[in-house]
Amino acid sequence: QSALTQPPSASGSPGHSVTISCTGASSDVGGFQYVSWYQQHPGKAPKLMIYEVSKRPSGVPDRFSGSKSANTASLTVSGLQAEDEADYYCTSSAGGNTLLFGGGTKLTVL
């Protein structure tokens, strides 16, 4: 199993939008509606931001949205705020009840 591919970094100005991609294969991202996104601030545990491609857990701002096209999933953060600066990880089911992670994207709010 290969890890999902994310850009190592992304950036945007406050109030603007940024999209982070997560590319896999038909055996994982493309084959399941089980893509999730986690936010992790330095020294903290990950926090679930998006599950099942586009659903938001209770308490997650609607500035965070998810989508998927073929083998690539995306996380969009709109109306960027300083507190959005963090690492973001995507995961996907990969068959056989296994999970794959992306390498993570460091989001910088300029």
Partner 1 sequence: QVQLQESGPGLVKPSQTLSLTCTVSGGSISSGGYYWSWFRQHTGEGLEWIGYIYNSGSTYYNPSLKSRVTISVDTFKNQCSLKVTSVTDADTAMYYCAGQIMVPHSAAFDVWGQGTMVTVSS
CB of 83 vs partner 1, minimal distance in Å = 18
Contact status: 70 vs partner 1 (CB under 8 A): no
> Secondary structure of 36-90 in the HEC alphabet?
EEEEECCCCCCEEEEECCCECCCCCCCCEEEEEECCEEEEEECCCCHHHCEEEEE
Q: Of 2-61, which residues contact partner 1 (CB under 8 A)?
A: 3, 32, 34, 36, 38, 40, 45-48, 51-52, 55, 57-58
Q: Which is nearer to partner 1, 79 or 91 (CB)?
A: 91
- Report the distance separating Cα 67 and Cα 22, nearest Å: 10
- Cα within 13 Å of Cα(86), Cβ side: 21
- Return d(Cα 106, Cα 6) in angstroms, integer: 10
Size of the site for partner 1 (CB under 8 A): 29
Q: Does 74 bind partner 1 (CB under 8 A)?
A: no
Under the rule (CB under 8 A), what is the footprint of partner 1? 1, 3, 32, 34, 36, 38, 40, 45-48, 51-52, 55, 57-58, 89, 91-93, 96-104
